[in-house]
Amino acid sequence: MASATTEMDCCVGRTRPSSMGMEAAPAWAEVVRKGLARSPKQLPPWLFYDEAGSLLFERITSLPEYYLTRLERGILTASAGEMIAAAADGLRLRLVELGAGSADKTRLLLAAALAHQGRVSYHPVDVSQTALEAACQRIATELPGVDTAPIIADYTTGWGLPDDPEESERQLLLWIGSSIGNFEPEAATELLTRVNASMRQGDALLLGVDLAPAAGGKSEAELVAAYDDAAGVTAAFNRNLLARLNRELGAEFQPDEFVHRAVWNAADSRMEMHLESRTAQRVWIEALDLDVEFAAGERLHTENSYKYGLDGAAELMARAGFPVVDRWLDRNGWFAVMLGRKS
């Protein structure tokens, strides 16, 4: 997604960047064209996160089946102070978060950082201005010692901080929520390697990792349920991608004509989400001047969520230049938070 980096003062009104409406379609519509021309058809998961999609995902994180958020929050609740102290290594910290969203769990780390050093700078990076505004307002109310400088950006295509860290300050990069799972392992390594190149020796990465069934002890049924909840919220989240294409590209999808499918791909150690066409149908997309044909039962692949073993996650972090120095797990070993340091 072509998205310029925009620093946002969440407490002072500023001109909003233009939305990705029809007038801006060329900035990302070609990604959709190429994805729908593939066999099988596939679209990137960042398309989920318009305003409606972001709100649906927040509902997903509170569902009983969606253990990831609950377990990671438990780990942070128990060990945030220890994580901050280990990352700081005797110095002050500033925190930068990739894909911050609502920053709900991050407040635990920010509170621990305040206890460690009195004040803390926090730079949340996200494509959703709505999510950043809400996060910033909540942090300002609950944690007034946190100086927030949100950045509206697609962190996968590049972004920059408004200033360099002070000499006496370490930088802690947060990539929590198992967001790494949405990337092919090679792409995740490449992204972290690029980020590493902009950081200084001694800076740290805190990574949230959902563990694979073989490593974490969870069953395949429990894993699949996290992506196919009984209330149908994840199905609505998946189909909202089609609704977004209708709104922003003038497409004519009938979202209810597609069935949500969540599948565990054991061979590739990943959960997959698909939208399966109920019937043979043709969909017009105005911004692309394109008719797209779907056969009955044909699937549109919308998301991967890779699951790692502890050793595999540590190897990935090391390849990216962040060898692991500590890690924390939930009681049953389903989820891990891992700390790596640039050496």
What pLDDT score was predicted for residue 215? 62
Domain count, the chain: 2
* Per-residue CA distances from 263 to 66, 109, 253 (Å): 15, 33, 23
**CATH number of the structural domain spanning residue 109:** 3.40.50.150
Question: Does residue 316 lie within any of the structural domains?
Answer: yes
Is 341 in contact with 86 (CB distance < 8 Å)?
Answer: no
What pLDDT score was predicted for residue 329? 97
- Whether 187 and 98 map to the same domain: the answer is yes
Q: Residue 160, exposed/middle/buried by CB under 10 A (0-12, 13-18, 19+)?
A: exposed
What pLDDT score was predicted for residue 216? 61
Q: What percent of the chain has pLDDT over 70?
A: 91
How far is 146 from 144, CA to CA, in rounded Å?
A: 5
- Whether 297 and 331 map to the same domain: the answer is no
Question: Does residue 329 lie within any of the structural domains?
Answer: yes
- Whether 86 and 233 map to the same domain: the answer is no
- Whether 41 and 114 map to the same domain: the answer is no
The three-class DSSP label of residue 207 is strand
How far is 31 from 9, CA to CA, in rounded Å?
A: 30
- Whether 78 and 206 map to the same domain: the answer is yes
Q: Is the pLDDT of residue 263 over 80?
A: yes
> Running DSSP on this structure, what letter comes out for residue 139?
H
Q: Is the pLDDT of residue 248 over 60?
A: yes
- Whether 103 and 207 map to the same domain: the answer is yes
- Whether 196 and 293 map to the same domain: the answer is no
What pLDDT score was predicted for residue 16? 27
Q: Is the pLDDT of residue 159 over 90?
A: no
Helical segments of the chain, H only: 29-37, 51-61, 67-88, 106-117, 129-142, 185-197, 213-216, 220-225, 233-249, 310-319
- Cα-Cα-Cα-Cα dihedral sign, residues 54, 56, 58, 60: negative
The three-class DSSP label of residue 214 is helix
Range of the domain at 119: 67-211+308-341
Show the CA angle centred on residue 80, arms to residues 75 and 86, nearest 5°.
115
Q: Buried b vs exposed e over 35-53: b needs ≥16 C-beta within 10 Å? A: bbeeeebbbbbbbbbbebb
Residue-wise pLDDT for 166-218, tens only, equals 777 899 999 999 999 999 999 999 999 999 998 999 999 999 999 998 766 78
Question: Does residue 10 lie within any of the structural domains?
Answer: no
Is 278 in contact with 296 (CB distance < 8 Å)?
Answer: yes
Q: Which of 140-154, 265-279, 284-298, 311-325 has the lowest mean pLDDT?
A: 140-154
Interval 156-172 mean pLDDT: 80
Q: Is the pLDDT of residue 14 over 50?
A: no
**Distance between first and last Cα of the chain:** 32
Question: Does residue 324 lie within any of the structural domains?
Answer: yes
Which amino acid, residue 255? Answer: P
pLDDT band at 162 (very low <50, low <70, confident <90, very high): low
Question: Does residue 15 lie within any of the structural domains?
Answer: no
Q: Is the pLDDT of residue 6 over 70?
A: no
Q: Which of 11-15, 167-171, 241-245 has the lowest mean pLDDT?
A: 11-15
Element holding 151 (H helix, E strand): strand 151-152
Q: Is the pLDDT of residue 26 over 50?
A: no
Residue-wise pLDDT for 284-317, tens only, equals 999 999 999 999 999 999 999 999 999 999 999 9
Q: How many CA atoms lie within 13 A of 148 on its CB side?
A: 29
- Whether 127 and 144 map to the same domain: the answer is yes
Q: Which residue has the tokens 């929050």?
A: 73
How far is 92 from 76, CA to CA, in rounded Å?
A: 19
Q: Is the pLDDT of residue 163 over 80?
A: no
- Whether 193 and 269 map to the same domain: the answer is no
pLDDT band at 129 (very low <50, low <70, confident <90, very high): confident
Question: Does residue 3 lie within any of the structural domains?
Answer: no
Interval 239-255 mean pLDDT: 97
Q: Which residues pair with 337 in a beta bridge?
A: 208, 328
- Cα-Cα-Cα-Cα dihedral sign, residues 227, 231, 233, 236: positive
Question: Does residue 1 lie within any of the structural domains?
Answer: no
- Whether 186 and 284 map to the same domain: the answer is no
The three-class DSSP label of residue 305 is strand
How far is 234 from 62, CA to CA, in rounded Å?
A: 12
How far is 260 from 302, CA to CA, in rounded Å?
A: 10
Question: Does residue 13 lie within any of the structural domains?
Answer: no
- Whether 89 and 178 map to the same domain: the answer is yes
What pLDDT score was predicted for residue 3? 35
- Whether 299 and 192 map to the same domain: the answer is no
What pLDDT score was predicted for residue 25? 58
